[in-house]
Amino acid sequence: MSAHDSSNTLRTRKGRGALTNRSGRYEDLARETVDDGWGSGDEPLAPLRTTVTIDSSRSIIARNQSPDVPFEQSINPYRGCEHGCVYCFARPTHAYLGLSPGLDFESRLFAKPDAARLLERELQNPAYRCKVIGLGTNTDPYQPIERKWRITRQILEVLAAHRHPLTIVTKSSLVERDIDILAAMACERLVRVTLSLTTFDRQLARRMEPRATAPQRRLQTLQTLAQAGIPTGVLFAPVIPGLNDNEMEAIVRACAEAGAQSAGYVLLRLPLEIKALFKEWLSQHYPLRKSHVMSLIRQTRQGRENDTSFGTRMTGTGAHADLIARRFAVICKQLGLNRAVEALDTTRFRVPLGAGTQPDLFER
């Protein structure tokens, strides 16, 4: 697999979001695929198989100090994500593994089968203090390989057993599989599930997030969870000016009607390697819109293609960003969203019993 494909050979692989496999920023060498003049550039692209490698992490709870995200602790059962969302802000993390944030990110995955055991051990630490854990904050905990590996399910079983609160963000209907656990946790105010929705345009979704659950199916999943008594929300993310921002009100309204109690949004972010990947994707799929989309992005990022400033990196700045914020606030107010969202309960947490530990005689 080449690490870089020249613009005159860009082609879409079925079921994949990125068009190229550019080397990560820590690599010394870059390779380029060219047409040799014998028609090699016209040959069909071979299917790109997904591979899964065991991740041997020694801990599972990640800590966060960013003021821009609503959690301090998170768990990611997998590295890389087969959903293939071209805009995914987590893509650059694959560079830490010596792999490409492009096609490698969505095809060379890493699973953490020891996650549940590691979690139990960390919860037993006397210094541990219960705070809500975010599941799926970097890569989707219900991406396709979860059907086989069931790591997310095992994590939920540990958290449920010890009454530990969590939030889930996903694009997958596979979350319905775990309604038995989630519904029971919801009765004790221990869980909230947010469905991420980007568009109702099936063609756009297929191009932009090729292996994620279809948008209308995600809406059905949200309704199914809500009917089971599980607090639900919608995350309209990312907002891409000039491409999907016109759908904001329709998506938020449909999700509210399906039972969502809360809503949020995130403006498109283009850190590090994602800039090139996203612009390649625009050139391939929406060449006539590319200049306009990128112009609007720069207008929301102080003239740059990305702005990492705390406080504004999720929502942007400038007139266009302000307009998006106002529109979102108006639709949420009209629908009564974000008004009565209860905080999850951290007081029910029970420390897991370790080897040789005696249960509390008065434990209730």
Confidence band of 9 (pLDDT split at 50, 70, 90) = low
The Cα angle at residue 274 between residues 249 and 4, in degrees rounded to 5: 140
Stretch 46-67: mean pLDDT, rounded? 89
pLDDT for the residue numbered 2: 38
pLDDT for the residue numbered 31: 63
pLDDT for the residue numbered 6: 38
The pTM score is 0.90
> CA 261 from chain center: how many Å?
20
Is residue 347 situated within a structural domain? no
pLDDT for the residue numbered 64: 83
Q: With helix as H, strand as E and coil as C, how does 50-66 read?
A: CEEEECCCCCCCEECCC
Could you give the residue ranges of the DSSP H alpha helices within the chain? 103-107, 115-124, 146-149, 151-161, 179-186, 202-208, 215-227, 248-258, 274-285, 290-300, 319-335
Round the average pLDDT of the chain to a whole number and report it. Answer: 91
pLDDT-wise least confident of 144-148, 321-325, 350-354: 350-354
At 166-184, the pLDDT tens digits run 999 999 999 999 999 999 9
pLDDT for the residue numbered 115: 97
Residue 314 has pLDDT above 90, yes or no: yes
> CA 16 from chain center: how many Å?
16
- Collapsing DSSP to helix, strand or coil, 69 comes out as coil
Stretch 257-270: mean pLDDT, rounded? 97
Q: Count Cβ atoms below 10 Å from residue 191 Cβ, excluding itself.
A: 27
Is residue 104 situated within a structural domain? yes
Residue 364 has pLDDT above 60, yes or no: no
pLDDT for the residue numbered 42: 60
Residue 232 has pLDDT above 80, yes or no: yes
Is residue 41 situated within a structural domain? no
pLDDT-wise least confident of 21-35, 157-171, 215-229: 21-35
At 268-286, the pLDDT tens digits run 999 999 999 999 999 999 9
Is residue 301 situated within a structural domain? yes
pLDDT for the residue numbered 340: 82
Confidence band of 44 (pLDDT split at 50, 70, 90) = low
pLDDT for the residue numbered 34: 62
Confidence band of 11 (pLDDT split at 50, 70, 90) = confident
Is residue 54 situated within a structural domain? yes
Residue 362 has pLDDT above 70, yes or no: no
As a whole number of angstroms, the distance between CA 189 and CA 322 comes to 34
Confidence band of 3 (pLDDT split at 50, 70, 90) = very low
Stretch 222-232: mean pLDDT, rounded? 98
Domain, as residue range, for 58 = 7-25+50-335
**How many domains does one find in the chain?**
1
> CA 285 from chain center: how many Å?
22
Is residue 166 situated within a structural domain? yes
pLDDT for the residue numbered 355: 45
- Collapsing DSSP to helix, strand or coil, 197 comes out as strand
Is residue 33 situated within a structural domain? no
pLDDT for the residue numbered 198: 97
As a whole number of angstroms, the distance between CA 57 and CA 49 comes to 24
Stretch 147-170: mean pLDDT, rounded? 98
Locate 13 and state its tokens.
């692989």
Is residue 130 situated within a structural domain? yes
pLDDT for the residue numbered 40: 57
- Collapsing DSSP to helix, strand or coil, 86 comes out as coil
Work out the percent of the chain whose per-residue pLDDT is above 70.
Answer: 90
Asked whether 74 and 81 are in contact (CB, 8 A), the reply is: no
At 97-108, the pLDDT tens digits run 999 999 999 999
At 189-219, the pLDDT tens digits run 999 999 999 999 999 999 999 999 999 999 9
pLDDT for the residue numbered 10: 72
Work out the percent of the chain whose per-residue pLDDT is above 90.
Answer: 79
Asked whether 69 and 43 are in contact (CB, 8 A), the reply is: no
Asked whether 111 and 78 are in contact (CB, 8 A), the reply is: yes
Of the candidates 24, 27, 97, 23, which has an alpha carbon nearest to the alpha carbon of residue 55?
Answer: 97
Of the candidates 297, 242, 300, which has an alpha carbon nearest to the alpha carbon of residue 274?
Answer: 297
As a whole number of angstroms, the distance between CA 248 and CA 261 comes to 16
Residue 156 has pLDDT above 90, yes or no: yes
pLDDT for the residue numbered 70: 75
Residue 11: which CATH number? 3.80.30.30
